[in-house]
Structure 1
Amino acid sequence: MAAVGSLEEEALKRRARLKALQNKRTVGLEPDSKKSKHEESEPKRVSLKFRSYKPKDESLQEKQLPGAKPDSLAAEVEEKIKAATQDDNKDAEINLLSLAPKKPDWDLKRDVTKKLERVERRTQRAIVDLIRLRLEKGEVNLAEAVLQTQNKKENDDDDDD
């Protein structure tokens, strides 16, 4: 355990640091004007203004502000509407064309491209294997085997659609 004397010393050091921080704050906020202790202890007076509250006390009714009246915005709104409609008429075609993507499925193609490449390679290998089998059996010549496999592939693709 720490001695009582050392705890007191630490407390004094902490107080000194806190005072230094407070002095920095007051100096940082108001470097030009140095206030005396009398001015710091004197509370600031707040002037009351009642905008939406009607005080019952007669002395406070003097501080009540008159009700605010909203400005007429009809003219400003009409100008903005006219300006917006004129701009829309000029750029209507350009905006629609620039907003619409040229190919609506570009993102789907981007995501599926790698998988399609893999499937295409497997398909080509399968076609080659089929041609080899037919040639080994001696059923048809090379040109007929290629045509038959391509026709089967096209028919299978049509069935999938």
Structure 2
Amino acid sequence: MADVGTLQEQALKRKERLKNLRKKTAQNEDDEDSLKRKADDSGEDEIKKPAFKNYKPEDESLQQHLVPQTEVPKVEEQVQDQLKAAVAEPVVEEVDITNLAPRKPDWDLKRDVAKKLEKLERRTQRAIAELIRERLQNSEENDIVSALTAHSEVSEKEKATYDSDSD
């Protein structure tokens, strides 16, 4: 039951606020009307003078009320200016396709494995050198000497042909 009493009190307060708002709006409208009337009263004494924008009066007494004609802006010049402004100058003349192309999905794996591959490459070179040394030691010395002389003869012939071709 206590709720019903508070609801009724709130409804009464709301009604009072609405009455006050109505009074204020009515006063504001009356104030605006009175201001308009005052402006109209002061303007009645003045006679509006004609302004001739599109008509050239023949009477000389009305010539003073003639409004000077404004110059019509040239549309062609404005359009040309806008067209010149719209043309975009190329910022970059040549585009490097490698920068635009997406990277392969395994590029980071190759980058990370590159160090390990260098180590392996050095080890394989060492292993190949050791195998060659072992073969040379096991083979006869004549084979080594003959292989070296044959190799030097072939390299001299290649140099001679290269020198003659370059001339």
- Same-fold call, TM cutoff 0.5: no
Structure with greater helix share of residues:
2
